Amino acid sequence: MDYNQLAELLFPHITTTPADMEEKYPPRNLPEGAKVTRFAPSPTGFVHFGGLFPSTVAERLAHQSGGVFYLRIEDTDAKREVEGASEGLIRTLATYGIHFDEGAILDENGNISDKGAYGPYKQSMRGPIYQTYAKQLVREGKAYPCFTTEEELDELQQINKKEAIKHTDWQAEAESRRAEMLARRNFTMEEVKEHLAAGHPFVLRILANGDPEKKTKFTDLVRGALEIPENDEDFVLLKSDGIPTYHFAHAVDDHLMGTTHVIRGEEWLPSLAKHIQLFAYLGFKLPKYMHISQIMRLDENGNKKKLSKRDMGANMDDYTGMGYSPEAVCEYVMTLLNSNYEEWHAKNADKPYTDFPFNIKKMSVSGCLFDFNKLGDVSKNIISRMTADEVYEKLCVWAKAFDSDFAAELLADADYAKKILAIGRGGKKPRKDLATWVDAKPYMGFFYDKYYALVDSYPAGFDNADIKAALTKFLETYDAADEMNVWFDKIKKIADELGYASDMKAYKADPSAFKGNVADISAFIRVAVTGKQNAPDLYTVMQIIGEARTRERIEAQIAALN
């Protein structure tokens, strides 16, 4: 077979050569050790939590090494493409600190455009580049056209499968697949000419030369040494519309764009044999690979399951509504990605996660477990270290979008809100009340008359008359100008007067000698003023809500206890 002639027949419109491409996209001029990484999503929907993983790793490795991190849009499957997905993806990733140096970007009008010398960065725009290499492979006898239509192929495969399943004869299936492949490889130039003349579409297949009995040694940077069986499958390189498959586009793009480290999901590991073969056929240097494990979650029965698209927490856009701040999510991702992150963070609490020396060797091979409780803990720590001003600002942004009613209250008196948010902040052991912005209203709502309500009941074991007596006495001497000690001494005095122990030691020695103790008196007042048994320091609460409101609430409670 005259392969040059075949190449001309199949790709008459391609006049460029691989050498032209190499000239147009020369190797990058970067310092020793600089890594070039990319995120290469298919724009088929939202950013999955699992997608934040490889992209965070890729971003860290590139930027930590003074390299380049770029975005390539893998839109070769038009059927699965979702309108606006690329734009949404860029915005979502930016929310989580993932910024690209190069690649597909959003221009000022919010449209996708290109930045950098290695574009186009959208695969659908790179047809002639792929076809240039495809033509070369045909010239070298490493790829061939296949005119069997997709439908015919599907049908054949279905029949083979059904037969094999019926007879549980896997060897027969393998043999029939092999026979099919050999038949495909067998064609004449005349046949090709006839097909082309009749306008029949074709796909371009690789002519696989591997022997699966033979294994190639391969090192994955996360998984270590692996043995990969050689590829013997004539997989498709170009679909009938001239658009490449993932495999072919991966080889051509990552080569021309100078990717040094391919960081992708472990679902691509089974395709690695194809990629190794393809890079060798094309004469490209194989990049380094990291196959990242999928994110798991525990189901109701405590079994590990893949975090699927529909699971809570899968869609990164949901986190905003759930009230998580991006800092918390990023830090949580780091704790999942690097086992020593938490230790580092404990020692460097005031440093951003981007200062952490990310280490490939500390990555888990077995798959990380997604856990909202853990995310909540990380988030509580982060919010507890923010200033009241910061919390106020972020809370308002969230509330404006998701709870306009609450936002109106917060915005009506910023000083008041900040005083509330300042409670228990700034010390060595700050309060950790908020994991999300959603938690804010239940925590601090009682400061606003609009949300104040008796959520908890009074401590058990006391009747209305007891509670009323204590509350009434409190109002008799309450003075908002009192220092904390004076204020508390007054409460102790009430305890003594009403037969409660003001001294906890005495109470513990003989509880039966008292009606209760001073903590019960405080609890009556706390429930009356805040509506809750658990609230921040009562003295501070009263200082913030003020004397008038305090009295009003306690009076209303006394009346209600009648």
Q: Which residues bind ligand GLU (CB under 6 A)?
A: 40-42, 74, 250, 262, 264-265, 268
Tokens of 96: 């989580």
Spatial CA neighbour of 523 closest among 514, 511, 535: 535
CB of 58 to ligand GLU, least distance (A): 9
Distances (CA, A) of 430 to 241, 343, 388, 392, 427: 61, 20, 12, 16, 6
What's the token pair of residue 180? 């099919």
- Give least dist CB 361 to ligand GLU, A: 21
Nearer to ligand GLU, 74 or 520 (CB): 74
Q: Where are the beta strands (DSSP E) in 191-271?
A: 203-206, 215-220, 224-229, 236-238, 261-265
Q: Which residues pair with 102 in a beta bridge?
A: 70
CB of 120 to ligand GLU, least distance (A): 16
CB of 53 to ligand GLU, least distance (A): 11
Q: How far is the CB of 263 from ligand GLU (least distance, A)?
A: 7
Cα distance between residue 562 and residue 555, in whole Å = 11
Closest distance between ligand GLU and the C-beta of residue 84, in Å?
A: 17
Q: Rounded to an integer, what distance in angstroms lies between the CA atom of residue 316 and that of residue 90?
A: 12
- Minimal distance in Å, beta carbon 102 to ligand GLU? 16
For 214-237, b where at least 16 C-beta lie within 10 A, e where not — what string?
eebebebbbbeeeebebbbebbbb
Q: Which is nearer to ligand GLU, 64 or 271 (CB)?
A: 271
Q: How far is the CB of 534 from ligand GLU (least distance, A)?
A: 46
Stated length of the chain: 562
When the beta carbons of 41 and 445 are compared against ligand GLU, the nearer one is 41
DSSP classification of residue 517? B
Distances (CA, A) of 448 to 340, 390, 417, 444, 531: 43, 21, 10, 8, 12
Name the minimum Å distance from CB 375 to ligand GLU. 24
d(CA 475, CA 548): 11
What are 117's two structure tokens?
């010398």
**Residue nearer to ligand GLU on the CB measure, 290 or 368:** 290
> Nearer Cβ to ligand GLU, position 253 or 466?
253
Based on CB atoms, which residue is closest to ligand GLU, 81 or 331? Answer: 81
Tokens of 356: 């952490």
CB 70 within 8 A of CB 55: no
For residues 250 and 441, which CB has a smaller minimum distance to ligand GLU in the complex?
Answer: 250
- Pick 71 or 494: Cβ nearer ligand GLU: 71
> Nearest approach, Cβ of 339 to ligand GLU (angstroms)?
24
User: Is the CB of 57 or the CB of 525 nearer to ligand GLU?
Assistant: 57
What's the one-letter identity of residue 324?
Y
Give the nearer residue to ligand GLU in terms of CB position, either 42 or 325. Answer: 42
| Tokens read off for 15 | 């006049």
Beta bridge partners of 298: 304
Q: Which residue is nearest to ligand GLU (CB)?
A: 264
Beta carbons of 437 and 392 less than 8 angstroms apart? no
- Pairwise CA distance, residues 174 & 182, whole Å: 12
Q: What is the DSSP string of 59-121?
A: HHHHHHTT-EEEE-B----GGG--TTHHHHHHHHHHHTT---SEEEEE-TTS-EEEESTT---
* Residue type for position 60: R
Closer to ligand GLU by Cβ: residue 10 or 112:
112
Burial grade of 149 (CB within 10 A; 0-12, 13-18, 19 or more):
middle
Please report how close the Cβ of residue 452 comes to ligand GLU at its closest, in angstroms: 50
For Cα atoms 427, 432, 438, give the angle at the middle one, nearest 5 degrees.
Answer: 135
CB of 72 to ligand GLU, least distance (A): 8
Question: What is the distance between the terminal CA atoms of the chain, rounded to a whole angstrom?
Answer: 104
Write down the least CB distance from residue 44 to ligand GLU, Å.
8
Task: State which residue, 201 or 265, has the beta carbon closest to ligand GLU.
Answer: 265
Helix residue ranges per DSSP H, 168-226: 170-185, 189-197
Give the Cα separation of 468 and 465 in Å (integer).
Answer: 5
The residue among 72 and 139 lying less far from ligand GLU, judged by its C-beta, is 72
